[in-house]
Chain A
Amino acid sequence: MSTATQSIDHGQIVDPAEVRRGRTMGIFYVLIGVCIYWLFVPSSQPGQTAILGLNPGTQSAALTIPDLVMPVRGSLYAMALVSIVLGVIQLVRGFKRFEGLVLGVVALFLVMSFVVWAARGTGFNMLGVLASTLQRAMPIVLAALSGVMCERSGIINIAIEGMMLMAAMTSALFGSITGSLWLGLIISLLFAGLLGWLLAVLSIRYKINQVISGTAINILSTGLTSFISAKFMSENAALNNSGKFTNVAIPLLSRIPIIGPIFFETNVIVYMMYILLIVMHVMLYYTRWGLRTRAIGEHPRAADTLGVDVLRMRYINVIIGGMVAGLGGAFLVLGSVPRFDELMTAGKGFIGLAAMIFGKWNPFGAFGASLIFGFADALQGKLQILEVPIPSQFMRMAPYLITMIVLAGVVGRSEAPAAEGEPYEKQ
């Protein structure tokens, strides 16, 4: 809406909203710098250090490295100063291409100064937080990738939550019945794909508003999974005991300090996610399929004119999207706790949608955003141990607030595919 008004300035088209946004971001950076100074410096003592552990506590293939010892005051001053300087530069001339990077740096400083402050005078196993970040981000990443798949082709997928829940239940149930993790995984993906197909039929063939069809699928899935769980799985524990994929260390890569234990000493679903991430990125931006997918999401009429079968593409994408969400649901069971509990997704599908928006509808953007959400989640658990005087609930709110801020275009801007949510009618 705000982009509709454009003015011409020095022969260049300058969007006033863009200028305003640049200023807002500059002020925002300065404010973060000031916040770091005001909030954290006063309660720290000179000469205090924070020890950030960088080695996994348990047995690991990774090489051991010394822990990071940071002087609290010094690093707080440095990070506050750099944030303010970056904010001033942003205000004066902007960063153009490096805008995203700078935003990331400032956000990192905010988090790091918080961690350093929270860990002042004691130690803090940073690696533990980072490793659990990935684990907690996993369902969110896959939900976000599912969202990217669907929304890039123009279908809003509110039903990710329901698809994940269905996959979680079926993976636990069929994993237990067949006694095979892989069979459980495959069957759960089929069920999630089935829900994707249902969403596609309702939204494409019957042209139901996609928010409504997604909501209906969520309610259906919630009801069905809870029903089956209550009827069969709660009484019969053998039906809810699938076991889980064990961690496999990848040779060589897992020996790299920090990165190894976090990324390369985990279970097979996480590795599948890496592959999926790369494949999706390549497919979306470097193949004909990707070009067509993006085209039908932006301007289906034009794509149709050029001979792309819009409806068929949408069907395929939504079904695959459902299966990607299903992988996320299956991870909750087969990759972390090997049992299904009613409503165990606990809104992760919706957070995935937020991550997708935050990541600007790109696979890697979505991955990065999910890691931030996962980090907030992992950190709030650890902060309770450190007895930080901030209620953990506020940490839990942060990702949602950030998403709303991003969506409002205050910091960074995220624009949805143009044809999203509109059913396409062939002429």
Chain B
Amino acid sequence: MKKGKRTEKERRQRWRGLLVPLLAIVTALIISGLLIIVTDFDVHDAFTHIPMEIVDRVEYSWEEVSLEEALEHHAAQVEIGDRVRVDGRWRTVVETIDNPERQLTLDEAREIYPELAVGVMVHFNFWQRPMVGFAAAWESVASAYAALFEGSIGSPVQMVRALIAAIGGDSSQLGRAFYPLTESLVTATPYILTGLAVALGFKAGLFNIGAEGQYFVGGLLGVFVGYSLKGLPMIVHLPLTLLAGMVGGAIWGAIPGLLKAKTGAHEVINTIMMNYIAFALADWLLNGPMQRPDDFRPISAEIQPSAFLPQFFASPIRLHLGFILALLVAAAVYWLLFKTTVGFELRTVGTNPHAARYAGMNLTWNYVLAMALSGGLAGLAAMNDICGVIHYMPNAFSAGYGFDAIALALLGRSHPVGVVLAALLFGILRAGASRMQSVAQIPIDIISILQAMIIIFIAAPEIIRALYRLRDKPDAELAPTKG
């Protein structure tokens, strides 16, 4: 980083740097929105099958139609699929009757209504009533994203109301109103740490695809220390447990680093292999030596309360010290990378290993160190989940942090501050997605699609620049997105 005053142009470019990520997120949200629309049955119906009642005087043109207009688009007689009103009740015209209460045959219908008339309901499609289709599409997306927002941030109305009540002395509503927001922060915490893990690897020119495995091994070692050591005071036990998790992850990360330095074996393949070894290891330990006694499930014993990360508020709010810890770790990573010799060496090795070697830096040491630190952060992320939230280790542990972390590091441009912001965004998305699933029936996997598109757009800013006709090229890439 260059010291001294920044010129006006440099400062403007810094803000320009934010433009592409922002537009990438917006574009990804738009495309996901289109996917939501396309896969929504209600929208499909609104495009192909709009029920229109024939009336004398049209008052509400989205549901009612005059006889003249109906005849423009429909045959002169009632057809199968139309509905007719008989004795004040709607009945569908069908070929074979399953439900005599609600259906009738074509012959019967034509007996009552020889021609189209008031009291018949025909169906229009998109071309005859485009606004209905658009409205349905909008409704579909808006309700989905509204659910996403309410699930992740909370309902603003409720929040204001709770705050007002709290000022008045009644703080009982606060928990409910702010629960979604705190839950997003809880979800974001492991993202911050795994994102930092991958970003730190990027800075040293290493692809750590194995954050997932490091997370598992860190969790295994940490949870072991967490439940097996008994009777320690919290001030000793909690740091020890967290440290154990970091050590586990660090060991798992250091191995591919060492292999790369010593044999040139590509860390991408090795970290992927280490992932699967870690899964098998966890599967074995949690079904065998580490399985909770008297339990058939593959989960570990519960850690001692002295290893819990303290929660700030009363249940159900789960926000715990880990969030603050993650922010501190982000600051520490920033300090390490940009303010120390060690960080300078790591970054030099990442930018140009040949130059680094020429300058007398030890490549082996730096590769191992970078991967160990990276793994350690991933391990800490696991401990954050264990000590802060679930208090034991299940077999199906991670929510795919390993790959999400790559997206985070890219989105955050491998900078600690950027990673924290990106992690908050992902935490919000992930927390809101579960509500989106329950309210709007949109599978939670939409988040993965969103993430993939964000990665693509961030890594290939040309696409975004072409889409939005941006001219300026941003400053040098901060993440090794280019091959």
A interface list, Cβ under 8 A from B = 1-2, 156, 158, 202-203, 206-213, 215-220, 222-224, 226-228, 230-232, 347, 350-351, 353-354, 357, 391, 393-394, 396-397, 400-401, 403-404, 407-410, 416, 421-423
Contact = CB atoms under 8 A, between A and B. Distances in A.
Contacts of B407: 216, 219
Interface stretch (B157-165, B335-343, B455-463): B455-463
A335 B452 CA distance: 29
Contacts of B462: 206
Contacts of B23: none
A178 B450 CA distance: 30
Nearest to A424: B483
- Chain A binding surface, main DSSP class: helix
A70 B463 CA distance: 65
Given A206-B462, A350-B276, A223 B480 contact: no
B446 to A, nearest CB: 6
- Chain B binding surface, main DSSP class: helix
Contacts of B268: 156, 158, 211
B264 interface: yes
A266 B447 CA distance: 39
Nearest to B265: A407
Contacts of A208: 456, 459-460, 481-483
Interface of B: 35, 39, 207, 209, 259, 262-266, 268-270, 272-274, 276-277, 280-281, 283-284, 287-288, 403-404, 406-407, 410, 441-443, 445-453, 455-456, 459-460, 462-463, 480-483
A208 B480 CA distance: 9
A215 B406 contact: yes
Contacts of A158: 209, 268
Contact of A206 (B207, B273, B448, B463): B463
A340 B481 CA distance: 33
Contact of B459 (A216, A354, A357, A421): A216
Contact of B483 (A209, A227, A396, A401): A209
Contacts of A232: 39
Given A209-B481, A350-B276, A220 B281 contact: no
A407 B271 CA distance: 12
20 contacts: A2-B263, A156-B268, A208-B483, A210-B483, A211-B207, A212-B410, A212-B481, A219-B452, A220-B456, A223-B451, A350-B273, A354-B269, A393-B283, A396-B280, A397-B281, A403-B269, A407-B263, A407-B270, A421-B483, A422-B483
A401 B277 contact: yes
Contact of A220 (B207, B449, B482): B449
B456 A409 contact: no
A-B complex: 7 closest residue pairs judged by Cβ atoms: A223-B448, A220-B452, A230-B443, A393-B284, A206-B460, A226-B445, A223-B449
Contact of A216 (B35, B276, B443, B456): B456
